[in-house]
Amino acid sequence: MKNRNSNKYFRIINAATKVFARKGFFHAKVSDIAKEAHVADGTIYLYFQNKDAILISLFEEQMKAVLQNMERQISEEKDVTKKIEKFALTHLKLIELNKNMAEIIQVELRQSSKFMKEYRNEKFLEYLNLIGKIIEEGQNQGIFRKEIIPGIAKRAFFGALDEMSRFWVLSSRKKYDIETAARQISGYFLYGLLRNSLERGPVAGVKNPQE
């Protein structure tokens, strides 16, 4: 495998992003990717072990960038409440920005035991943990309720955003704008659906509620 600094490496990654998004991983032919990258079929195998590896690399490269970006965005906010809101907004903007990539993550990456089962998706876990850490931070600061289980909350929050993305990716037109969706979703998690605090009931997942 040749060094990934070669511009061909990224040309192939980008071509694959397009082709996978258009046809789906299984229906995408390696020769399609080669054509899109203006490269010979065989050349692909100088940079990637096989077709699966393209998808994995594609994902890793992309997540690297996404992760860096998200870390920077979050660190700009001091308030954990703002951090949560910023996370939601940044995540949804990302989807908007890179529809093809979003589509692959949403649809293709979930498809094969190769990726969601055997492949330990470290980068994705790191991404999830960004949320987890915000929540823990909020709990340590006494701002978030201490009964919240960060391991569950981080998945719930990510899942909420993710499902919203899927909706956008799969439907042609966007019904709600990004800012609205981001504010709504972070709003649900921060303040709940209930109208006033009097109704605040037994604390989630804990026998003896809040203190």
**Angle at 41 (CA atoms; ends 12, 51), nearest 5 degrees:** 60
Residue 25 or 189: which CB sits closer to DNA? Answer: 25
Residues 184, 201: Cα–Cα separation, whole Å: 22
Residue 29 or 72: which CB sits closer to a second copy? Answer: 29
Task: Tell me which of 14, 18, 30, 96 binds DNA, using CB under 7 A.
Answer: 30
Task: Tell me which of 43, 98, 111, 129 binds a second copy, using CB under 8 A.
Answer: 111
- Phi, psi (5° rounding) for residue 204? -50, 130
Residue 44 or 164: which CB sits closer to DNA? Answer: 44
> Does 108 interact with a second copy (rule: CB under 8 A)?
yes
Q: Contact 150/63 with Cβ under 8 angstroms?
A: no
Cβ 36 to DNA, closest distance in Å? Answer: 13
> Does 125 interact with a second copy (rule: CB under 8 A)?
no
Residues 24, 206: Cα–Cα separation, whole Å: 43
Per-residue mark of binding to DNA, 9-28 (x: CB under 7 A)? ------------------xx
Residue 39 or 56: which CB sits closer to DNA? Answer: 39
> Does 56 interact with DNA (rule: CB under 7 A)?
no
- Phi, psi (5° rounding) for residue 119? -80, 115
Residues 64, 62: Cα–Cα separation, whole Å: 5
Tokens standing for residue 88: 């939601």
> Does 18 interact with a second copy (rule: CB under 8 A)?
no
Instruction: List the single partner that 118 binds among DNA, a second copy, none, CB under 5 to 8 Å by kind.
Output: none
Instruction: List the single partner that 191 binds among a second copy, DNA, none, CB under 5 to 8 Å by kind.
Output: a second copy
- Phi, psi (5° rounding) for residue 90? -65, -40
* CA nearest neighbour of 100 among 166, 46, 169: 169
**Angle at 191 (CA atoms; ends 187, 192), nearest 5 degrees:** 95
All residues at 6 or more sequence positions from 184 whose CB lies less than 8 Å from its CB, including other chains: 176
Chain positions contacting a second copy, by CB under 8 A: 23-27, 81, 84, 106-108, 110-114, 116-117, 135, 138, 142-145, 147-149, 151-153, 155-164, 166-167, 170, 175-176, 180-181, 183-197, 199-201, 203-206, 210
Chain positions contacting DNA, by CB under 7 A: 1-3, 6, 8, 27-31, 39-46, 50-52
